Homo-oligomer: A and B are copies of this chain.
């Protein structure tokens, strides 16, 4: 861990020079997405902790890393010998970052942050928590101390065909401004690459698993300024953008642009998606700022509601992916039947990618696949890579969670397969997870209903066995964009966003028996209009995923007649849709898998 010690002492020299008592290094980049480029992985470089979520705080003599329960084991291993302490977030007795800093540094000390890595919203709440300590803004200290820092990479971008997105940028800009409903001249500032990709109908490959262009944007009521790599777009593409009312500018011209832009234009942004630095620059000339009042920001809220072209695209993606799953499941069964002793999680994780790779339209995985056998399934964010070969041999559940990007849509599906013999408890748990998933799928609800109202339809089935899963039941899914997309969700926690027709959401209850097994069954569901009458407008879900569900562990009695009927219909529908595009062998196999249970 000599590396880490040297790096920490490099940072400490900088802090001393600037009289900073504590420095906070978050996981984020200036675009506040889920994934970041290596260039921005300062926290990882400095601490050695590779998890996606964690915040490091460094003082003169101590260093501590806050992370959540998903990463406790990994962080303990990776931090060993570094001198960095692990702080278990949301555990009784764990101080918050602000509490810890206040204890560690003297009154009057400065607390340093990089203003590009904290949103205006985070900055405000952190300032309040740290009071009376003051925050000090330090532009990228890591440029000084990170010797062989990876450069920022800009890959070639693509322009999304109108037939896929269903709506051109000019129209989207109108929708956004209508919904914003601000009378003044405005300059709306966008840092979130997925909102920009949606608005400008562009896609890229700059962020792992997210088909995004590393970019900023700003728009007035009639023009969009896109700040990306000029080299990422061909001449044709640039003129295409121009025709769509989009002026292409260089990524590094953005700060200057927002400083210089006409000060009479009110600056608008969602305060959780604009960095302190960009905020400060945007109002440095005296311009007024209005926080976007819409949860998730106006572009995010419009992006979440898919139009008919996007929905058709999702359905096509589901068809492609379902065929891949069928091929994958057949491969798995054949390997098991021939008694392979060398089948590993990693082989299986690569297999589904290989199968999808045969489609010319396949654009890559929408997240790192989870293939977890036996007790590994009990870790919700397990990775089959880098653990040494884990053989899929013997009895247990095999949990497979994988998704793909296609130009026409994104998928995210989990299936749990019964391998060998199961216990009574395993069958019961599997059935309850399935029942929960189906209960939510069947929901019909009035306009205005929030995801938090529906969460217990799925969760309740699991609770009935005195078990729980601690994650949400559902997250929004982007259209050839991020597989985790806001602002809607289906969770226990309150989220004021009401579900709307056109929203695409995952439905993934689970049970994790630590040290033993994990079960998760995940479909993608579409919220759509059901009926309208004197009581109001009612919505329902249409299940988009058409991957068969392993029936061998199902306890029909426990599943109950309503859920059984749903399941039979589901499988009949799958057979109908897939049989016409499968080969004879696959079709025969599918006919058995989709047989009705009575």
Contacts and interface: CB of A to CB of B under 8 A. Distances in A.
A98 interface: no
Interface string A473-502: 000000000000000000010101000000
Interface in A447-473: 449-450, 452-457, 459-460, 463-464, 466-468
A286 interface: no
A383 B530 CA distance: 35
Contacts of A531: 466
A437 to B, nearest CB: 16
Interface of A: 443-446, 449-450, 452-457, 459-460, 463-464, 466-468, 492, 494, 496, 514, 530-531, 533-536, 538, 560-562
Contact of A463 (B446, B466, B494): B446
B452 A494 contact: yes
Contacts of A464: 444
Contacts of A562: 560
Given A443-B460, A460-B457, A560-B561, A530 B494 contact: no
A555 to B, nearest CB: 14
Contacts of A452: 452-453, 494
Contact of A460 (B445, B467, B514): B445
A554 B562 CA distance: 18
A449 B494 contact: no
17 contacts: A443-B456, A443-B460, A445-B460, A445-B463, A452-B494, A453-B455, A453-B459, A456-B457, A457-B457, A457-B460, A463-B538, A466-B530, A466-B531, A466-B535, A468-B536, A560-B560, A560-B561
Nearest to A557: B561
A514 B535 CA distance: 10
B561 A466 contact: no
Contacts of A535: 466-468
A66 B477 CA distance: 43
A454 B446 CA distance: 16
Contacts of A492: 449-450, 453
Contact of A466 (B453, B494, B533): B533
Closest 7 CB pairs of A and B: A494-B494, A453-B456, A466-B538, A466-B531, A468-B535, A444-B463, A445-B463
A111 to B, nearest CB: 27
A540 to B, nearest CB: 9
A595 B532 CA distance: 39
A312 to B, nearest CB: 27
Q: Which of A459, A463, A531, A560 has the most CB of B within 10 A?
A: A463
A493 to B, nearest CB: 9
Contacts of A533: 466
Nearest to A455: B453
Contacts of A459: 453
A531 B468 CA distance: 13
Contacts of A514: 534
A407 B31 CA distance: 63
Nearest to A446: B468
A431 to B, nearest CB: 14
A104 to B, nearest CB: 24
Contacts of A456: 443, 445, 449, 453-454, 456-457
A394 B452 CA distance: 43
Contacts of A453: 452-453, 455-456, 459, 492
A242 to B, nearest CB: 42
Contacts of A468: 446, 535-536
A531 B457 CA distance: 21
A221 to B, nearest CB: 27
Nearest to A449: B492
Contacts of A446: 463, 468
A450 B452 CA distance: 10
A560 B467 CA distance: 24
Nearest to A442: B464
A530 B536 CA distance: 38
Q: Which of A464, A514, A531 has the most CB of B within 10 A?
A: A464
A538 B467 CA distance: 9
A494 to B, nearest CB: 5
Contacts of A466: 444, 530-531, 533, 535, 538
Q: Which of A449, A450, A535 has the most CB of B within 10 A?
A: A535
